[in-house]
Amino acid sequence: MKVVTHNLRCTECGTVISGDAVNSIFRCPQCNGLYDVIYPWSANVARPASGPEHNLPNASALRWLWQERRTSTMPIDQSGVWRFRDLLPIVSNPDKVVTLREGNTPLYDLPRCAKAVGIDWLLAKHQGMNPTGSFKDTGMTAALSVAADRGFEWVACASTGNTSAAMAAYAARAGLRSIVFIPEGKIAWGKLSQSMDYGALTIQLKTDFDGCVRILTELVTRFPIYLLNSVNPYRLEGQKTPAFEILEQLEWQVPEHIVVPGGNLANGAALGKGFNEMHHLGLISRVPKISIIQAEGANPLYRWFMDSNRIMRPVKADTRATAIRIGNPASWRKAANVIDAMGGWCEQVSEQEIALAKAQIGAEGVGCEPASAVTFAGLKKLVALGKVKPEERVVLILTGHTLKDSQYTIDYHRGELLTEEENAQISSADQILHASLRKPPVVLDADPDVVLHALESHMKMTQTV
């Protein structure tokens, strides 16, 4: 007998369907809304008339179990996603779990960034330290395991690069065939190389990310492919687990703020779900605020947030932070609910602000890709607006590894990233910061005297800054 462990509930109209429904159309037929995965223990789920409410261990037993699994040699215990499988029972057969030992990512402190922004305590949860270099691995292990469990042979996604890298890797591990749709010319080379390396059929469409989504949405109605974009609610089940890890790493002390970059807007929603579930289950006594930061050139959520009528209007997206170059985000409603319900804020940041924030995070020895740096750029605004107080504890979610987009970093340090017009708009205080952070490579003759001379003048220069 198959035990149904979960259902899918439409986040717009509340219609519930069975978690066994096997198809790739992750939209409610009544209202076109997206689904959330719900469990017998989720908030607002009708309890059975008789029998136990749910068979979950209590809060302290769960904490102990999750910690204990870290010492196990079993792959699903070593995964920082499946270690928490009690709260994501989505795969009927644990042998079908496809894992690259994702999760268990570091929580770094950023003392110099904290000082620069005027707060006491700043941490970065570095999701770029996942196997394919981005937070997408946590969601992909979950949704791809469901695909394998349900017997799909083909999987596909539209992507700005990181989802495709993660999907290609996990599909290869599972022996499934994968198709990647990416916008031609608008993704970082490192990411493109990953999907080829992992053996995906890589299709560069002559359109943007939003155009790729349109084509794939049509394709899944005509071909038996399992859709692995973040409209697939199982992705969010994996992506909620960093919330569990952050609390574990902070010995269950809840930080005041989590700051997340916003593109297609599933990640903020997933983390919100994770914190809310822990609160509902009594693992924590309150939830943090979740704020979402967008790039100025790809800011539909920010516009919605600032609009007194609260209308979502897609935009034509453009930013050098190509991972979040998205104008029509699928999960905007879920993310908006998280901001509203958890008391967060939404901000936008310019190309200059992203470049500076990325260099500041890099200078702490941590590094991240441009889309992740919007978090620190946005935090500066949250502090200036009084939304974050100096004594409050903040966690930035760094979503991608610095090597994902090394061209951006090289262009920045060589002074070739921003246009003259963009440079002219930078304040004199930030100009000084940029000048102290830029480290262009120096080309010298292979002569010790020349090198020594260059070192001496470099030391003189840096002493005066």
- The β-bridge relationship of strands 225-227 and 154-158 is parallel
Give yes or no for residue 24 binding ligand F0G (CB under 6 A): no
Give yes or no for residue 105 binding ligand F0G (CB under 6 A): no
> Shortest CA distance to 315 belongs to which of 330, 302, 331, 299?
299
> What contacts 200, CB < 8 A, 6 or more positions away?
164, 167, 168, 171, 172, 178, 179, 180
Stretch that binds ligand F0G, among 67-75, 110-118, 340-348, 364-372 (CB under 6 A): 364-372
Give yes or no for residue 266 binding ligand F0G (CB under 6 A): yes
Among 40, 263, 288, 362, binds ligand F0G (CB under 6 A): 263
Give yes or no for residue 264 binding ligand F0G (CB under 6 A): yes
Q: 133: alpha, beta or left, given left = phi > 0 and alpha = psi -120 to 50?
A: left
Residue 78 or 328 with smaller CB distance to ligand F0G: 328
Among 160, 178, 328, 402, binds ligand F0G (CB under 6 A): 160
Stretch that binds ligand F0G, among 25-33, 161-169, 338-346, 440-448 (CB under 6 A): 161-169
> What contacts 183, CB < 8 A, 6 or more positions away?
160, 204, 205, 207, 208, 209, 211, 212, 325
Residue 85 or 136 with smaller CB distance to ligand F0G: 136
Give yes or no for residue 369 binding ligand F0G (CB under 6 A): yes
Question: Any bridge partners for residue 346, and if so which?
Answer: 292
Give yes or no for residue 242 binding ligand F0G (CB under 6 A): no
User: Residue 277 half-sphere exposure, CB side, CA atoms within 13 Å?
Assistant: 26
Question: Any bridge partners for residue 18, and if so which?
Answer: 7
Contact (CB, 8 A) for 38 and 16: yes
Stretch that binds ligand F0G, among 97-105, 142-150, 263-271, 302-310 (CB under 6 A): 263-271
Q: How many residues bind ligand F0G (CB under 6 A)?
A: 22
Encoded one letter per residue, x for contact with ligand F0G by CB under 6 A and - for no contact, window 405-434 reads ------------------------------
Give yes or no for residue 159 binding ligand F0G (CB under 6 A): yes
Which two three-digit tokens encode residue 145?
A: 């395991």
Give yes or no for residue 271 binding ligand F0G (CB under 6 A): no
Instruction: Tell me the residue type at 342.
Output: M
Which residue intervals of 289-417 are DSSP H helices? 300-306, 332-342, 351-362, 370-384, 406-413
> Shortest CA distance to 94 belongs to which of 148, 166, 160, 173?
148
Stretch that binds ligand F0G, among 45-53, 255-263, 271-279, 376-384 (CB under 6 A): 255-263
Among 91, 97, 323, 388, binds ligand F0G (CB under 6 A): 323
Among 110, 122, 246, 265, binds ligand F0G (CB under 6 A): 265
CA distance 297 to 434: 22
Stretch that binds ligand F0G, among 3-11, 42-50, 365-373, 425-433 (CB under 6 A): 365-373
* Residue 51, helix vs strand vs coil: coil
Give yes or no for residue 328 binding ligand F0G (CB under 6 A): no
Residues in 114-153 that interact with ligand F0G by CB under 6 A: 134, 136
DSSP state for residue 82 in the 8-state scheme: G
Among 399, 402, 408, 412, binds ligand F0G (CB under 6 A): 399
Among 103, 161, 274, 367, binds ligand F0G (CB under 6 A): 161
What is the torsional sign of CA 3, 5, 10, 13? positive
Could you give the C-alpha distances from 116 to 112, 171, 377, 433, in angstroms and in order? 6, 42, 11, 10
Residue 78 or 194 with smaller CB distance to ligand F0G: 194
Residue 91 or 216 with smaller CB distance to ligand F0G: 216
User: Residue 235 half-sphere exposure, CB side, CA atoms within 13 Å?
Assistant: 27
Among 40, 103, 131, 262, binds ligand F0G (CB under 6 A): 262
Binding residues vs ligand F0G (CB under 6 A):
134, 136, 159-163, 230, 261-267, 323-324, 369, 371-372, 399-400
